[in-house]
Structure 1
Amino acid sequence: MKRHEIREKALQVLFQLDNTDLTLEEAISHIFEEDQELNPFFKTLVYGVAKNLEEIDERLKQKLENWSLYRLPKIERTILRMALYELKYMEETPPAVVLDEAIELAKTYGDEKSSKFVNGVLSKFVEQ
């Protein structure tokens, strides 16, 4: 499985977590078969976002001008959380790749303005 596909699966799991009462394991089981071994990159991304959610949200709130985190469309919020985790905790991925991937996910799963919004917010983190 390619990293882009892994990010899509991670997005699906994290989106479920944000919008349902499912546990992390239940959300993962909705996406993968029970006996399927999880990719290490997927596990790091999903468990890392879940574990560091409070800190990630605090960082995002600092960069959202005229927006509250919970007013954001849920898919954009989830994409931003994943990308910020990757930027801050998974330094082996170049920032340009993280941005490109987040923008592609926003184009696929968000509305016509999502990719520009995601790019604008994440660019503030990359410029630091």
Structure 2
Amino acid sequence: MERPDERSDARERALYLLYEAHSKGIAPVDTIDLQVIEPDELTQELVRGVGDHLERLDGMIDERAHGWTLARMPVLDLNVMRLGAYELLERPHVPTAVVLNEAVELAKRFSTDDSGRFVNGVLAAIATDARPTAD
């Protein structure tokens, strides 16, 4: 039987919390405090990191999402890209391929049919700049 990947699960939980923050119009970090059971350490790191770097992440996404504004993007796609961009910038020990694969899988699983390609394209462009000597 295949064991679940705790890091993948943490990314998924972080996506839920970021979506909740958007839906409620609150800061991402505030969603952590609203949980009945405290989220695991990685989930908290991802949510706090995205929240702390939100303006920078959105700027990077906006620059590379040709033909799209942040306001027009599906909320799930935007939050998946925020998570991926945060990891590319602030978690250098996570291989680039892992960040991209995880983001694409989240987008394909929770968003539209075209989301995987869109997320991959934007994050690959960010990775080129953020990790010029990528693994």
TM-score by length of 1: 0.88
> For 1:6-37, what per-residue CA distance to the aligned partner results, in whole angstroms no more than 9, with x for missing partners?
1010000011112213454552355x434x4x
> For 1:44-69, what per-residue CA distance to the aligned partner results, in whole angstroms no more than 9, with x for missing partners?
11101001101111111111111111
State the Cα RMSD in Å.
Answer: 1.7
Residue from 32, 37, 43 that aligns with 1:28: 32
Give the 3-state SS of the residue equivalent to 2:76 in structure 1: helix
Shift of 1:39: 2.3
Provide the C-alpha distance between the structure 2 equivalents of 1:93 and 1:56, rounded to a whole number of angstroms. Answer: 18
**Structure 1 equivalent of residue 132 of structure 2:** none
Provide the C-alpha distance between the structure 1 equivalents of 2:115 and 2:126, rounded to a whole number of angstroms. Answer: 17
Give the 3-state SS of the residue equivalent to 1:111 in structure 2: coil
Give the 3-state SS of the residue equivalent to 2:93 in structure 1: coil
Residue from 14, 17, 28 that aligns with 1:13: 17
**Structure 2 equivalent of residue 117 of structure 1:** 118
Provide the C-alpha distance between the structure 2 equivalents of 1:99 and 1:23, rounded to a whole number of angstroms. Answer: 25
Paired residue total: 125
**Structure 2 equivalent of residue 83 of structure 1:** 84
**Residues 25, 123 of structure 1: CA spacing in aligned structure 2 closer, same or farther, 3 A cutoff?**
closer
TM-score by length of 2: 0.84
Give the 3-state SS of the residue equivalent to 1:14 in structure 2: helix
> For 1:94-127, what per-residue CA distance to the aligned partner results, in whole angstroms no more than 9, with x for missing partners?
1100000001101110111111111111111222
Is 2:29–2:48's contact at 8 Å kept on the other side of the alignment? no
| % identical aligned pairs | 32
* Unmatched segments (≥5 aa) in structure 2: 130-135
